[in-house]
Amino acid sequence: MNSLLSITSESRTAYITGKGRVQSPLIMVGAASNEMPQDESLDALADRFVIKFRVDRIKKDENWKKFITDDYDMNKEISTKFTPEEIDLVYWYCKSNVEFKEGDVW
């Protein structure tokens, strides 16, 4: 947790044993959690994530059953890598087109 907090600071550095402080080319950080932080020691890390969305629990029984039994498309290819150009495109699109209203983000 300390390394993640350090690397998401303005200096974008982290301490690595044997190498000392190392600069990171960090552009973006994303995360997911099944609950909001309750412990005050996590506040500094939680504050690094500017946009936060709450996703409600699965409401329909049939969707819960699909989730639990893995009854979904396992063959669908999921891309988990983004190019710097794709990140810039999303940034500029959001900056120009996305408007958050009170209550949407916390």
> Model confidence over 40-83: pLDDT tens digits?
887 888 778 777 777 778 888 888 888 778 766 666 776 667 78
Alpha helices in the chain (DSSP H): 2-7, 43-46, 61-68, 84-97
The residue with tokens 């690595």 is 16
pLDDT band at 106 (very low <50, low <70, confident <90, very high): very low
Using a cut of 0.75, tell me whether the model's pTM lies above it: no
Please give the C-alpha separations between residue 13 and each of 21, 28, 34, 81, in angstroms, as whole numbers.
Answer: 6, 14, 28, 22
Q: Exposed e or buried b for every residue in 30-65, given b needs 16+ CB within 10 A?
A: eeeeeeeeeeeeeeeeeeeeeeeeeeeeeeeeeeee
What is the model's pLDDT at position 17?
81
pLDDT band at 28 (very low <50, low <70, confident <90, very high): confident
